[in-house]
Amino acid sequence: MTVRRRAVLVAVVAGPLLVGCTKTADKVAPKLRLEKVWQERVVTPWAAMPGRVRLVGDALVVVDGTGTEGARVCSFTAADGAKKWVIDGKGPISVPGVGSAWLCVVGPGYLGNTTTLVQRPAVRTAGDILPVSFASAPKGTTTSGVVGVDVRTGEPVWGFRAVATPSTKRTMVTAVAESVVLATVSASFGPGWPGPTQSPTTIALDAKTGEELWREAEVIGVSGDGNSVVVVRRTAGSWHMEVRDARTGKARWTGTHQSRGPYEHQDTAADHTVLQHADRTDVDVVRLSDGKPLEFDTDTTPDVVASNPPLLVWDNGVAWWAKGPNGFVTRTLPKGPPTKGKHRPKGLEFRAAYGVGPYIWGDYRTTQESNKNDNLAGTIAVDRTGAPCSPNIKYGYLADVSETSLVIGWNDSIEVHRITTA
């Protein structure tokens, strides 16, 4: 039986929208070549590296570790691995307006030996500012907040103390918009999805100065895009999505969809922000224009990616494979009809992760119909028809990708591969 899973589309003030070419889904993209060029040891378990590394221009930013002691944030030249700067959690740093403080890497994944999923910290930049969390001491009850780091040099630019009285609560950056940083204060190394006895508070900061813009209790920041942010707000014991003006905190649209969280912000194209639940059992597409719902006619939770020219692409599951052709579903934004691709190798399931140019990066996995195409299983690029376009990497987790670099988490390290046209 086909299950209809609904992606919630959240409305804000509409702006100009780009329109992609409707023929894009039928075009076969050029083949790619991958070349491993460098690697770096990390202490973060390699399965948790997705979301902890970010390609920013020609640099790769790595947020490594958990807590304070042993944590670090560093930047490398993506092309050759040359270290540009490092903030080492083995000692304190000087934070403007705060004084001596310790880098505090909170989340992601699992906390210790518990099975509590937590919201991933947002490793994203607002202009040249990379916001990261700090604590005033390496352990125990401390104050905590956010430091804005110049992503080009690694120098702290501003500091904001969100927890002014020593506490076991910590501050985590959960969303970054064009000029605003959302930081959520919750239980130590949180937030999980807080229970009835926990009361998180989200604080919006000016990304250039660190000045507080607004704050609200019982709210968790989820994602940012342009001058809008998506949050979830607790009402009567459940959590509901809202889109707010990033700088004023004023709600532009309040949804009725109950959020189970936590979320991972996948990407944004045109006015569509894709949010995947951490356990991958549901997906929400937040449309920042008219609030109309998008429904997926599929028997499984689709892995949706946003790409440019503005498109949504997803794998629609076994129910559509049986109908054929066996490819992706591509939807041109803002209101184009779904178009099915043509070239999925039989016996393979594709989990999409990133959209870059004409390519969708993710991994093929074998199904019960395993056959000669099993050799394609692993991290790979396909075009929007589903045709394989790159060699596959049979190990590790895809952590981030751009037009020129691919980052894989593997064996207590990250590997960077150069991408060129074959």
pLDDT > 50? residue 397: yes
Mean pLDDT of the chain: 81
pTM: 0.86
Q: Could you read off the pLDDT of 146-175 as tens digits, one per residue?
A: 999 999 999 999 999 999 999 888 898 989
Average pLDDT over residues 400-412: 94
209's tokens: 């100065």
Q: Could you read off the pLDDT of 340-360 as tens digits, one per residue?
A: 777 777 777 778 888 898 898
Categorize the per-residue pLDDT at 373 as very low, low, confident or very high, splitting at 50, 70 and 90: confident
Nearest 5°: phi and psi at 256? -105, -5
Within 10 angstroms of residue 3's Cβ, the number of other Cβ atoms is 12
Give me the pLDDT at residue 364, please: 85
pLDDT > 60? residue 249: yes
Give me the pLDDT at residue 226, please: 85
Q: What CA–CA distance (Å, rounded) separates 160 from 181?
A: 11
- Of 206, 118, 197, the closest CA to residue 158 belongs to 206
Categorize the per-residue pLDDT at 292 as very low, low, confident or very high, splitting at 50, 70 and 90: low
Q: Could you read off the pLDDT of 263-275 as tens digits, one per residue?
A: 677 777 777 888 8
Q: Could you read off the pLDDT of 206-231 as tens digits, one per residue?
A: 999 999 999 999 998 888 888 889 88
pLDDT > 60? residue 25: no
Q: Which residues contact 90 (CB under 8 A, 6 or more apart)?
A: 69, 70, 72
Categorize the per-residue pLDDT at 370 as very low, low, confident or very high, splitting at 50, 70 and 90: low
71 to each of 24, 103, 156, 244, how far by Cα in Å? Answer: 43, 7, 16, 33
